[in-house]
A and B are shown apart, each in its own frame.
Chain A
Amino acid sequence: MEMKKWLEKAAQSILDQDEESAREIAKKSLEDDMDPVEMINDGFAAGIRKMGDLFDRGEVFLPGLIIASDAMAAAVKILEEALPQDRRQEKLGIIVIGTVEGDIHDIGKGIMVTLLRVHGYEVHDLGRDVPIEEFVKKAQEVNADVIGSSAMMTTTQIGQKKLEEALKKAGLRAKVKTMVGGAVATDHWAKRIGADFFGETPADTIDKLRRILN
């Protein structure tokens, strides 16, 4: 099968939110000697970008996006394992990300982690319910460019503000950019607490991230 067809099939498997099919296509395309980098960037990533657009337009909802991003992650893992070390993509930036302490929700953040990796960022996912010190410690350890925090509840959102303060205290604030996300965050909130930006949707976040790191 020619490359173009493989790319279409890859994108379609993401739009169909079909993880099994995405894995299958990743494996078969390798057997057919397709280029894994191209399969990721022009196939699967094209599919997830389209899903992101549909989500932004309110035609797809969060559950669909979660399933599609899982399918994407599964396919990308297979393709990346087939890549020789020197062909692995250069990272666009190092990101430390987590859901703030007290908040056990991992919903939107999981999608962001997958998408950021697909877009070429090195992502250190601290998971959920992350104490503020852990964000700071990890950022120092990996020399992070960006720290992202997610909060899903009005009662835990204060953690994002505490993170800003902790970064200042650690003398780290000038060295990193901070992004806030989650169901309860807004542009206003980001400005108010001194975060660099609010990522509203996956597409919006990727876009703002690219601009702020340039």
Chain B
Amino acid sequence: MMKAKERVMRLLNHQAPDRMPCFAANTSVTYDQMEKVQAFWPEGHEKGETMARQALAAHTVLGLDAVRVPFCQTFEAEALGCKLKPGGSEGIPGIDFPPPYSLDDTPVFPEDFLSRGRIPELLKAVRLLKNELDNDVPIVGGIIGPFTIAGALLETVPLLKASIKAPEKIRPFLEVAEKAGTTLAKALVDAGADIIACEDMTASPMLAAPDTYRDFELEYQKRQFEAIPVPKILHICGNVDLIVEYMGQTGADILSLEPKASALLARERCGPDIILMGGVDTISTLYLMDPDTVRLECEKTIADGIQILAPGCAVAPGTPLENILAMVAVAREH
């Protein structure tokens, strides 16, 4: 049997792995796992040791083929001056009001970015994981896409309005946001991350117009991915059919899709080389249903061309362990 890292890297090199890899592009931490590894929130969002311990649970408790940090989407935004809203012991931290900038401001990229906020703890977690996993299990480092970070700097509604009314004004924010994600990604790689997963929630066609992705975000996402020397996952939530063609042009090695998006269309629009990741809806199936339903949904998305089985989006922390294990079991049969 292959080690997890070999399995994943073979697929990335377009060679056949021993079976289908299964891991998460987004957070997969749940309360059950926290109990099992005795590592809890909020420390898991704040302290490198706890974060590493929780991340390890993805491999030791769930049997996933990669571990992933962090578990929230706030590291870059906090370091850029956004106010953090703590998530307590049950939730994940978010960005609070008011945003640091308005549209006519000039955003600044701080020189000491990597030592700001909780970034040093995040990097520490990756180093600890590298030490612990000894290259057997790949480490996924998470960053946030330019459009989404710009949405934190300006607040999402003003960003979306500007994307139609004064689109050129959002460029300086995308610049700074891209630089933030890229700088963090490089530091994560230096610390030992094998893969970078970029979550760009706000760029989803459910929020932004597809033309905004094509005419603005694509350029910054391309630039970012060009600068990152390891394989890249691009995750955008919801039904991304209208932009999946552009997602395929970003330089991402892997596209992470929710079941709401069409894997068949992604294949058709992005060609044979792009690796498709996804499988099961995190709320309506993984959180709410039973292992049998999880298995059925996984089989369906595999039939549609998914190559890495995964939760479609961030796993809700109350998700039952047996449902996630059912997903992993499906991958083991393929």
Contact = CB atoms under 8 A, between A and B. Distances in A.
Interface of A: 17, 58, 61-64, 66-67, 70, 102-107, 110, 129, 153-158, 183-184, 186, 188-189, 192
B61 interface: no
B218 to A, nearest CB: 16
Contact of A67 (B164, B283, B288): B164
A104 B210 contact: no
A120 B205 CA distance: 30
Interface string B187-225: 000000000000000001111111010000000000000
A56 to B, nearest CB: 13
Considering the complex of A and B, which 5 residue pairs feature the smallest CB-CB distances, nearest first? Answer: A61-B209, A63-B160, A102-B91, A63-B164, A188-B284
Nearest to A110: B157
Given A154-B313, A154-B314, A189-B284, A61 B157 contact: no
Contact of B315 (A61, A62, A154, A183): A154
B85 interface: yes
Nearest to A127: B97
B238 interface: yes
Contacts of A103: 94
B161 A67 contact: yes
A193 to B, nearest CB: 9
Given A66-B157, A129-B85, 14 more contacts: A17-B165, A62-B206, A63-B208, A67-B164, A70-B161, A102-B87, A104-B96, A106-B157, A107-B156, A110-B157, A154-B313, A155-B316, A158-B318, A192-B284
B236 to A, nearest CB: 12
B194 to A, nearest CB: 25
Interface string B153-179: 000110011011100000000000000
Contacts of B165: 17, 67
Given A107-B156, A183-B238, A66 B91 contact: no
Contact of B316 (A58, A70, A106, A157): A157
Contacts of B242: 58
Contacts of A189: 283-284, 288
Contacts of A58: 242
Main secondary structure of the interface of A (DSSP, over half): loop
A193 B205 CA distance: 27
Contact of B205 (A61, A106, A154): A61
B28 to A, nearest CB: 12
Nearest to A106: B157
Nearest to B88: A102
Contact of B282 (A63, A107, A154, A156): A154
26 contacts: A17-B164, A58-B242, A61-B210, A62-B206, A62-B207, A62-B208, A63-B160, A63-B163, A63-B164, A63-B207, A63-B209, A66-B157, A67-B165, A70-B161, A102-B87, A104-B96, A105-B156, A107-B156, A107-B207, A154-B283, A154-B287, A154-B315, A157-B316, A158-B316, A183-B237, A184-B283
Interface in B276-299: 282-284, 287-288
A209 B204 CA distance: 27
Interface size class of B (residues with CB under 8 A): 35 or more
B316 to A, nearest CB: 5
Nearest to B318: A158
B11 interface: no
Contacts of A154: 282-283, 287, 313-316
Nearest to B241: A58
Given A129-B85, A189-B284, A66 B160 contact: yes
B85 to A, nearest CB: 7
Nearest to A61: B209
B228 interface: no
Contacts of B314: 153-155
B325 interface: no
B318 A183 contact: no
Interface string B70-103: 0000000000000001010001101111000000
A188 B289 CA distance: 11
B42 interface: no
B197 to A, nearest CB: 16
A48 B160 CA distance: 18
B91 A156 contact: yes
A62 B207 CA distance: 6
Contacts of B204: 183
A62 B210 CA distance: 10
Nearest to B92: A155
B317 interface: yes
Nearest to B167: A63
Contacts of B209: 61-64
Nearest to A156: B91
Nearest to A64: B164
